Each structure stands twice: as C-alpha cells, then as structure tokens.
Amino acid sequence: MFLPIKFFLRKKTKDNDILTDMNHNREHILPKHIGIIMDGNGRWAKKHGKMRSAGHVEGAQRFREIVKYCEKIGIKYLTVYAFSTENWRRPQEEVNGIMKLFKEYLIEALTDFQKENIKTCFIGDRSVLSKELIDLMNQCEEDTKNKTGLVLNIAINYGGRNEIVKAVKELAKECLDGKILPDDITEQSISQHLYTVNQPDPDLIIRPSGEYRTSNFLLWQSAYSEYYFDNILWPDYTGKDLERAIEAYCKRNRRYGGI
C-alpha cells in the first residue's frame, strides 16, 4: 500500500518536524526496503579515546534503536550490514568481540523481542559460524517467521560477490542435474538464488561514516538503489539522521534507464 509520506509520517511520528515540514505537492512514498552499512564504530571509539570494542558495543545499541524506528514508521524491509566476508581480516580479538555482541543480541531477540512484530532473517554464509550462533540464528528465524511487520535482514558473514558465486553454483548444479538448461537462466532466476529470495530490491542504501563505497553490500540487488552517504559515525546515528536520508530519497527521480 502506498501512502503519501507527509500523511504517513505525520500519523506515525507526531514529533517529527523534519519530514512533516516537507512542502511537496507530489506524492512521496517511503522506501519499501532500506539497506544500512553500519560503519564507523572503530573511528567513533578512537575519537572518544576508547577501545574499538567499545565502538561496536555502542553501534549495536544504535542498531537496536534504528530497527525499532524503522518498524515504527512503517518500513517494510531493513537490511543491515553487520559483518562482511572481508571482516575476518581483523584482529582475532575484535572478531571475537563482534561475535560475542551478536550472541548477546540473539539471546535478547529470542526473549525480549518476542513482543515486537519483526521477522528476522540472516543473510550471508552462516556455515562457518559457531554451532551455538547457528542454532540461535535458526531459532530466531523460526520464532519470528510468521510476524507480519518489519522484515529485518541481518547480514553476517555476508559478501555480495560470495552471494553471486553461491547462486551461480546452485544454477550450475541444476544444469548438471538436467533440471534446467543454461538458456533458462535469467536475471529473475539468479535473484531467486540469492539470500534475499522473494524480497524486493533495496530502494535506499545508507552509508554513514564518510566512506563512499559499497564494500561488497547487496551487489546484485543494488542495481537501481538510491545511495545516501553522510559523515556521521554509526554510534552517533539517530532517527533524525535516518529521516534526513529518507527525505532526500523522496525527492529523487528514479528513472531506471527511462526518461
């Protein structure tokens, strides 16, 4: 269902003065799917004279808040980049700290978040994670599979190239098994073999922290995503910053190669 953003946000977030002040005649709609590259934890920690791990702790809190905020304003899909296939290159201690935070979040999600109407999915290659984490992730997906509100994709050990390789391997196997012919492969069938199967492509991808790159995030799915970059470090990110990104998105003209 499409609603004018002014109407929608006035209704959903009463004290929101940025978006409700928008003076547009055109009908604006919220992005259906938002992707966020949660970046800048390390630099935030350094700026505050703390260990990098403190930045990740703070960043995890912002993640919790932004998820709730997206649910509140009626975003349908949110994909957050939490750990990339390249992040294993970091010192073991930092990786362990991030995995510990992830475990804490999962346990919390399985208890406290039951009341939220959020369907949680994990995208990425989970097979290399600890059995404990894999079990918690599976449990979390199972427990929330019938929720009808926000679909939350948490990207863990996710890489866009890795995901495309996975899809190609699966399709090659279907060819070898005689289920399909190479000519049957289409853009749609590739999409069907990605982690985001049956989900719409992201409309808006936000990267805070002042870096202007995708770092392997949703490569296939972002073909026509609108990007929004800003300089805020993720642990400083607030709902207002998200509103600003959405407001900018609403003003853009998406042409998809047309005119």
CB–CB of 243/18 below 8 Å?
A: yes
Tokens of 73: 């304003």
Q: Which residues pair with 123 in a beta bridge?
A: 155
Active site (annotated) includes residue 87: yes
Which listed residue (16, 87, 143, 236) is catalytic? 87
Tokens of 9: 């946000």
Strand boundaries in 6-51, DSSP class E = 33-37
Q: Which residues in 24-43 contact Mg ion (CB under 5 A)? A: 39
Stretch that binds ligand IPE, among 33-41, 133-141, 146-154, 171-179 (CB under 6 A): 33-41
CB–CB of 201/223 below 8 Å?
A: yes
* Residue among 5, 31, 35, 42 that touches ligand IPE (CB under 6 A): 42
Count of residues near ligand IPE by CB under 6 A: 17
If binding is defined by CB under 5 A, does position 235 make contact with Mg ion?
A: no
Q: Which residues in 81-110 contact ligand IPE (CB under 6 A)? A: 81-84, 87, 98
What is the C-alpha to C-alpha distance for residues 79 and 31, in angstroms, rounded to an integer? 12
Cβ at position 209, least distance to ligand IPE in Å:
6
The partner in contact with residue 199, picked from ligand IPE, Mg ion, none with C-beta cut-offs of 5 to 8 angstroms by kind, is none
State the residue number with the nearest CB to ligand IPE: 42
What is the C-alpha to C-alpha distance for residues 164 and 99, in angstroms, rounded to an integer? 25
- Closest by alpha carbon to 191, among 160, 212, 214? 160
Q: CB-wise, 98 or 137, nearer to Mg ion? A: 98
* Residue among 13, 41, 79, 144 that touches ligand IPE (CB under 6 A): 41
Active site (annotated) includes residue 41: no
If you search the block for the tokens 């289920």, which residue do you land on?
A: 179
For the sheet containing 119-123, what is the strand order?
119-123, 151-158, 77-84, 33-37, 204-207, 226-229
Cβ at position 226, least distance to Mg ion in Å:
22
Tokens of 190: 């590739």
The partner in contact with residue 213, picked from Mg ion, ligand IPE, none with C-beta cut-offs of 5 to 8 angstroms by kind, is ligand IPE
Which positions are catalytic?
39, 87
> Which residues make up the interface to Mg ion (CB under 5 A)?
39
> Which residues make up the interface to ligand IPE (CB under 6 A)?
37-43, 81-84, 87, 98, 209, 211, 213, 215
